[in-house]
Amino acid sequence: MDRARGYHQHLDQYQTFLVIEKGLSEKTIAAYSADLMKFGRFLEKQKATVVPGIDTGLILTYLIQLRAQGLSARSRARHLVSLRGFFKFLTHEKIIEKNPAQPIDLPKTGLHLPDVLSVAEVETLINVPDHNKPEGLRDAAMLELLYGAGLRVSELILLEMNGINQEAGFVRVFGKGAKERVVPVGRMALDAVRDYLDRSRPLLLKNRPSVYLFVTRRGSAMTRQSFWHLIGRYGRLTKLNKKITPHSLRHSFATHLLEGGADLRTVQMMLGHADISTTQIYTHVAQRQLMEAHKKYHPRG
C-alpha cells in the first residue's frame, strides 16, 4: 500500500478489509465508517490528511473537540476504539510504524479527560474574592494567574517579583525538576496582578522586604496547604456544586486553549509537562509563537 496516499484512500482500503477479512456486519462497519469519516473531516480542516503525519497529539485534540461538542464519554470512547482499529490496520500494512491512538487512555467507564470548569464558571470563581480587602485583591490575582498561565500551585506561590514581566506579558517559572519555562500571561491576569501590586501588596508587607510576588500578612509566601484551603473555600462560595482545586484551573487553562483551536504541543509547552497526554513528546516552539497562541486562543488572553 502506498504510504503517500491520503487518509480517505487508506480508509477505503480499511473498509474493504473489514468486509472481506474481518467479516463484520454491515451495521458495525457503518458505525466504524461514520466515526472515521468524521475524523477525516477534522483532518481536512487541520490540513493534515497525510496519514504518517497524524500523531497522538492530533488525535487527542480531536477527542477534546468532540467533548466540546457535547459528546458523552461513551461516544468519545467509541470514536477512540474506531481510530485504534484503523491505525492498527495501518501498522500491520507497514504504512505507519506505531499506532498513534494506542497511548490514549480508555478506562472501562469511557474516555478519561480532565474535569474542567467552563469559562463562565472560572469567571464566577475569580469574582468571589472581596476586592475591597487586601487579601481579596491578592487572591483574585492569584486565581487569575493560576488560570491565565496554567501554573502549578508550587510555581504560583513561589513566583518571585522578578519572575513576572508585565511589559512583555509573561512569567518565568521553575517547574518539576527545576526546569525553567516562560509562559505568556493574558491581559486580565496582568491587570489583576498590577491592581494587587498597587493596592494590596504594600498593605500586606507593611514596609517589610520580600522577594515573593504573593505574600501573606506575615510577609511570607503562602503555603501550598493555605492556597488549597483558600481555593476550596472560594469554590464552595460559588455554589457551583463542583469540587474546585488548583488542578481544576490548570486543566481548564489547557482545555480551553485546545477547544479554542490551539495546537496541543503549544499548550504542552505552556504547561511544562504532558498533563493531557503523558506520551506526547515536546517540540520546540518559539516564545513569540507561544504568546501569539495564548493571546489568540485563551478566553482571558
pLDDT at 273: 56
User: Which parts of the chain have pLDDT scores under 50?
Assistant: 1-4, 107-114, 274-287
Mind giving me the DSSP string for 167-202?
TTTEEEEE-GGG-EEEEE--HHHHHHHHHHHHHTHH
Is 282 considered catalytic here? Answer: yes
pLDDT at 107: 42
Write out the H or E segment, with its range, that includes residue 33: helix 26-46
For residue 84, give the amino acid letter: R
Ranges of CATH 1.10.150 domains, the chain: 7-92
Q: Write down the catalytic residue from 138, 250, 256, 300.
A: 250
Question: The domain at 119-297 falls in which architecture?
Answer: Orthogonal Bundle (1.10)
pLDDT at 111: 40
Is 247 considered catalytic here? Answer: yes
Ranges of CATH 1.10.443.10 domains, the chain: 119-297
CATH topology of domain 7-92: DNA polymerase; domain 1 (1.10.150)
Is 176 considered catalytic here? Answer: yes
Contact at 8 Å (CB) between 141 and 196?
yes
Interhelix angle 134-149/187-199, nearest 10 degrees: 160
pLDDT at 194: 96
In the numeric block, the cell 515536546 is attached to: 282
pLDDT at 18: 86
pLDDT at 282: 24
Q: Is 126 helix (H, G, I), strand (E, B) or coil?
A: helix
Exposed/middle/buried for residue 290 (C-beta within 10 Å: 0-12, 13-18, 19+): buried
What does the longest C-alpha to C-alpha distance in the chain come to?
A: 80
Is 236 considered catalytic here? Answer: no
In the numeric block, the cell 485504534 is attached to: 84
